[in-house]
Amino acid sequence: MNYTTQMDAARKNIITEEMKIVAMKENMDVEKLRELIAYGKAVIPCNKNHKNINPEGVGEGLRTKINVNLGISKDAYDLEREMEKVKTAVEMKAEAIMDLSNYGKTEEFRKALVEYSPAMIGTVPIYDAIGFYEKELKDIKAQEFLDIVRKHGEDGVDFVTIHAGMNRATAEVFVNNPRLMNIVSRGGSLLFAWMRLNNQENPFFEYYDELLDICAEFDITLSLGDACRPGAIADSTDASQIHELMVLGELTKKAWEKNVQVIIEGPGHMAIDEIEANVKLQKKLCHGAPFYVLGPLVTDIAPGYDHITGAIGGAIAANAGADFLCYVTPAEHLRLPTLEDMKEGIVASKIAAHAGDIGKKLPGARRVDNEMSDARRKLDWTRMFELAIDPERPVEYRKDTNPEDETTCTMCGKMCAVRTLNKVLDGENVNILR
């Protein structure tokens, strides 16, 4: 039988090759996965033109996935450096990479990224419009925004962030409910500005059916962006954010009518006590569609350390049911991330995702933790490093010190509790002083 998208196949009781691969990775019955995709509770972002993709699933009952943002900008235009980041992100097993390039002719980098990467690739097509058409924002036509989405689909992009919920009604709610930080979504701010400058409706909302046809043609997963995501904890869970979320819920149903897979994007900056409620609200208003969060960052006062504030929020969000974490680097709010910034962000997000999976009680989530504990009990340092999320740093730390007893570390030395118990339980003398 023929099918257009993974959702279309699932609804026709077709098990695709991508479903088989994802089910094996997740230790899930493939029929169960098919049902989740049919109901929109899980997605497999997999453009028909992304030939070397290693498919991943995002959604209910699946491991929490992480996304890495990178790309060129006018102030940091270095394609070679960005490709080095891509290769490192793939080596570190990031499940998704978003190309947020926003300057010049970005097609060269995007095509190279898709051709190289087995990870799923996402973009925000509106970023590309100004450079592609060489027009100021106000002068871009509605149809041209849609044409850019088609171009990204032809290039093999697996999911696209589209801020279709920033319509005139949402914009009015925002204007009537002032915020401390206004709109911090780059794509959302561009669309809000375009609407005001041209006195027109958001093209992605007005011509949403045409957008869905493009997504269905290439099996692009539609990541419905939250233009009103809070950029300060003072703005979280406000009228603008919730109004837009309600719009996204309606747009989700329309997408499913055309068998287009959907992810919902979420905050942003948010006080720690609001995260769980926001996840539950999204799942309710958006009918169980997978939830993709940036952070959330739980405080606004840690520039240079926002990979930590984001990981705290990400772990809580994942535990509450968020399915997809967008990483945050130490350079957030400060500069384009370096390679080292990116690595710090990946590790922090992977920790958050794994901690969330343990909290969700996903089958097998604790297995590697138990293996690590067993290696620690045996003082098997080699095995500990093999199991670590980031093997490089613990090896460096270990080499940097020289304990008297090489089975221990310089923190406790021969007073190591693990060493003491191992010896005593084996009937040996502890011999701390000699």
Going by the annotation, the residues of the binding site are 69, 98, 127, 163, 185-187, 226-229, 265, 269, 292, 333, 409, 412, 416
Beta carbons of 198 and 139 less than 8 angstroms apart:
no
Beta bridge partners of 65: 324
Residues at the binding site for Zn(2+) are: 269, 333
Residue type, 128: D
- 194-197: list long-range contacts, CB under 8 Å, 24+ apart: 194/137, 194/138, 194/140, 195/166, 195/168, 195/171, 196/171, 197/137, 197/138
Residues at the binding site for substrate are: 69, 98, 127, 163, 185-187, 226-229, 265, 292
Beta carbons of 108 and 132 less than 8 angstroms apart:
no
d(CA 5, CA 3): 6
Q: What are the tokens at 7?
A: 């959702």
For strands 42-43 and 58-59, give the pairing.
Answer: antiparallel
Residues at the binding site for [4Fe-4S] cluster are: 409, 412, 416
Compute the Cα dihedral for 281, 287, 290, 292 and give only its sign: negative
d(CA 55, CA 35): 17
Question: Helices 339-360 and 79-91 sit at what angle, rounded to 10 degrees?
Answer: 30
Strands (E), 124-211: 159-162
